[in-house]
Structure 1
Amino acid sequence: MRALSCGRRVLAALSTVALLSSCALGATGQEQAGAPRPVGPVTMVVPFAAGGGSDISGRAVADGLAAARPGLRVDVDNREGGQGAVGYSYLLSKAGSPNYLLATETSLLSLPLSVEVAFSHRSFTPVMKLGEDYTLLVALPGSPITSCADAVAQSRHRRVLAGISGAVGPDAVVFSELQRRSGADFDTVPYEGGGETMAAVLGGQVELASLNPSEVMGQLRAGELKALCVFAEQRYDYPQLAHVPTSLEQGIPVSFAQFRGVIAPGGLSPQATTYWIDAARSFAGSPAYRDYIASEFLQPRMAFGEEFAAYLAEAETTLAQVVRR
């Protein structure tokens, strides 16, 4: 698996350019620095392209927060590029402003561990961990690959292209672990988001794809794709996915869940931090949150504020053992 170790200089350059550009655009956010609560429209930054899991998450949370706080307006702004570095760098430039949020996931941890960027999870204010999301390995129905174990076996003898979202994101971690633990040798092709990865496997540009259930459920139901396994320790309880075997069942000792959450810029006032955590708790207790979790087939493992920060620190330590190999 080559994608995890290649292209680091390119990603570093992208993130540096993004930071310089976003600093030039950051005046509006800086005007609100130190404010006790947002004033006017709020921007939910999605650091990946439209159509993927991060985009779905950002839009669901934006709507849920607006519903939980009457009068609040939250607009979604997709700022993809640099495998997420562009969006995170943009949020970095809004330090102190309560008018910005970001739909985050595991790239918040894997990017700083893999490439030279100007941020880490400590650069931002943790608001809410929404839940955990396991990835599926999928292929076209007519593919000769019939399981995850079969995919690993075939990758040792022929070239197998696998699409992933981001060169250093959760999918890359899964394939890195496949190589380390099972001797697989996939050629991974990184895309900017789940939507592009989906298009690649449906169009035959890659033979396999690593996608979250929410990204691929429509295609599974329509018979356009088949699920080979889920990289989890236990099968999903959701009826639509209960038939999908785990990687462990197939003798592949790889299990990895990415988190989904919401962060705000660093340097928020205590009042603004409390405002967003309270709003997130209101969202978490609403039917909108339960509908989001169910529709995206997530595990509803929540954390708020300092508890979310502690989770990030622990997950960073675990992830470093994989990403920095």
Structure 2
Amino acid sequence: MKLTRIGLPVIGLSALALVGCGATAGTGGDSGPGSAVMIVPFSAGGGSDVSGRAIASGLEEAAGVNITTENREGGSGAVGYSYFLGQQGNEGILLASETALLALPLTQDVQFDYTSFTPIMKLGDDYTLLVVRDDSPFESCEQVVDTAESERVIAAVSGATSLDEIVFTLVEQDQDVTFDRVPYESGSEVLAGLLGGTVDVASLNPSEVLGQIESGDLRALCAFADDRYEYEALSDIPTASEQGIDVAFAQYRGFIAPGGISEEARQFWIDAAEEFATSDAYTEYIESNLMQPDAAYGDDFVAYLEGNNADLEAVLR
């Protein structure tokens, strides 16, 4: 991926007036841009929370805007997204977005879909690992599937529309098996349930479990990715397809603005996002969270969402 450094244009920040949550555009005056809010539609501690806070920090540096982060969890992300829907036209609020933006409208009675908002930036792709406790009898993903054919296998999921729910559904469809689910509100709660012995298996992002894998508390049985990771810490983990399970699905990480904002405000945030993508902070976020960099902005992000939405429709409907 080649990124060209683009300076932020002078677009009349006094007119843009990036202000706090619930406010509308006004005049910023000589103080320059004011503040903004980054909504995280999940609880603190999980991958979405980490993503939102990293994006907020990177945009602060790129755009010179003070951005606070606010968690509005509940309903597998529906509470946060529904609140954000009510911020139509507010140019001083953003939301840390992920695959729930697409999955929620396909599975729940919500009043929005991805076309309700203004996509700004897709940072990259975040696959998952199937993990078990170190004392688990499972030694491979293939063994987990074989067991599920005749016995109860309890899987943790962080909500009905989460990446792990999608991955387990794809495995069920590919292998003609069924997993029992225990739902949680975030990846951190899933991790606690797995470590506490409440569930047998979990599908978690590498960044959420690397510490426990390195400490020996958890083992990764396979990666639901197209290819093995190049990161040294994950390079020995086989893909699911290597074990006869034809499943690879990534959750995107990115951020969106409300619908109904001005073209000037949209371009401001896109330019800030492109500036952020050239920074050490972006590289640090991608690498520390063991993600695949695959940035897209504005219309290209919209095109990605259109294609991903069509893929999810085939799975969730």
TM-score, structure 2 as length reference: 0.91
- Cα RMSD of the aligned pairs, angstroms, is 1.7
Q: What is residue 82 of structure 1 aligned with on the other side? A: 75
| Aligned: 1:269 with 2:251 | no
Give the Cα–Cα distance (whole angstroms) in 1 for the partners of residues 180 and 25 of structure 2: 45
CA offsets 1:266-323 (integer angstroms, 9 cap, x no match): 1010110011000000000101000100000111011000110111011101110001
Alignment of 1:53-92 (within 5 A): 53-70=47-64, 72-92=65-85
Amino acid at match of 1:255: A
Q: Secondary structure at the match of 2:77?
A: helix
1:128/1:263 contact within 8 Å kept: yes
Q: Secondary structure at the match of 2:292?
A: coil
In structure 2, the CA distance between the partners of 1:140 and 1:322, relative to structure 1 (3 Å rule), is: same
Displacement of 1:40 in angstroms is 2.5
Alignment of 1:1-325 (within 5 A): 29=21, 31-33=23-25, 39-70=33-64, 72-324=65-317
1:29/1:95 contact within 8 Å kept: no
Displacement of 1:158 in angstroms is 1.3
In structure 2, the CA distance between the partners of 1:231 and 1:35, relative to structure 1 (3 Å rule), is: farther
Q: Secondary structure at the match of 1:118?
A: coil
Give the Cα–Cα distance (whole angstroms) in 2 for the partners of residues 31 and 60 of structure 1: 23
Q: Secondary structure at the match of 1:232?
A: coil
CA offsets 1:63-121 (integer angstroms, 9 cap, x no match): 11111123x11111011100000010111111111111111100100100111100100
Give the Cα–Cα distance (whole angstroms) in 2 for the partners of residues 266 and 60 of structure 1: 23
1:194/1:215 contact within 8 Å kept: yes
Q: Secondary structure at the match of 2:197?
A: coil
Amino acid at match of 2:266: T
Amino acid at match of 1:249: E
Amino acid at match of 2:58: G
Amino acid at match of 1:88: Y
Q: Secondary structure at the match of 1:276?
A: helix
Give the Cα–Cα distance (whole angstroms) in 1 for the partners of residues 47 and 92 of structure 2: 23
Give the Cα–Cα distance (whole angstroms) in 2 for the partners of residues 273 and 195 of structure 1: 33
Q: What is residue 9 of structure 1 aligned with on the other side? A: none
1:127/1:264 contact within 8 Å kept: yes
TM-score, structure 1 as length reference: 0.88
Q: Could you list the runs of 5+ residues in structure 1 that have no partner in the other structure?
A: 1-27
Displacement of 1:31 in angstroms is 3.9
CA offsets 1:113-145 (integer angstroms, 9 cap, x no match): 111100100011000000001011100011001
CA offsets 1:35-75 (integer angstroms, 9 cap, x no match): 899953211110111111000100111111111123x1111
1:139/1:207 contact within 8 Å kept: yes
1:167/1:190 contact within 8 Å kept: yes
Amino acid at match of 1:120: D
In structure 2, the CA distance between the partners of 1:237 and 1:147, relative to structure 1 (3 Å rule), is: same
Q: Secondary structure at the match of 1:301?
A: strand
Q: Secondary structure at the match of 2:177?
A: coil
CA offsets 1:165-188 (integer angstroms, 9 cap, x no match): 111222111111111110221101
Give the Cα–Cα distance (whole angstroms) in 2 for the partners of residues 112 and 51 of structure 1: 25
1:36/1:271 contact within 8 Å kept: no
In structure 2, the CA distance between the partners of 1:34 and 1:93, relative to structure 1 (3 Å rule), is: farther
Q: What is residue 23 of structure 1 aligned with on the other side? A: none
**Identical aligned residues as a percent:** 51
Give the Cα–Cα distance (whole angstroms) in 2 for the partners of residues 45 and 114 of structure 1: 22
Q: Could you list the runs of 5+ residues in structure 2 that have no partner in the other structure?
A: 1-19
Displacement of 1:29 in angstroms is 4.9
Displacement of 1:189 in angstroms is 1.4
2:63/2:272 contact within 8 Å kept: yes
